Amino acid sequence: MAMVDQPGYDSLRPVGKRRGGVAVVLLSLVTLGIYWLVYVYKTHNEIRQHSGLGLGGGVGLLIAIFLGFLTPFLLGHDVQRARAAAGLPQRVSWLTGFWTLIPLLGLFIFAVRVQNALNDYWATRR
């Protein structure tokens, strides 16, 4: 059983930070990718700590470092699983990662879509 299914569980677990998708991409570009690694770690970690679902920060970070092309697909999937477990409609999935194949513009579309879906999830968990 997923941890989010337990009565009263949400109120006991830390809620993740709301972020702006555009800010994530801009900070990642300015820091030459360093912020992207921080974002991947924090996002995977927050989802795992709150819902018990997903890879977790350490595994997500290792995948981002060594198999970075998988990261957008895994982020979309983890956000979708957390939303589904909370009874929220699907707004993203692993397929959302395909946006990143469009140079630069695709990164913005991906980050905004995934982060907005995650922000919506966090808003319902407070």
Question: pLDDT averaged over consecutive 10-residue blocks of the chain (126 residues)?
Answer: 47 82 97 97 96 95 97 97 95 97 96 97 90
Do the domain assignments include residue 51?
Answer: yes
Do the domain assignments include residue 108?
Answer: yes
pLDDT of residue 3: 47
Range of the domain at 104: 20-125
Token look-up 């194949």 returns: 101
For residue 27 the two structure tokens come to 């900070």
Domain count of the fold of the chain:
1
pTM: 0.88
Report d(CA 121, CA 43) in Å as an integer.
12
Do the domain assignments include residue 26?
Answer: yes
pLDDT of residue 13: 74
pLDDT of residue 5: 47
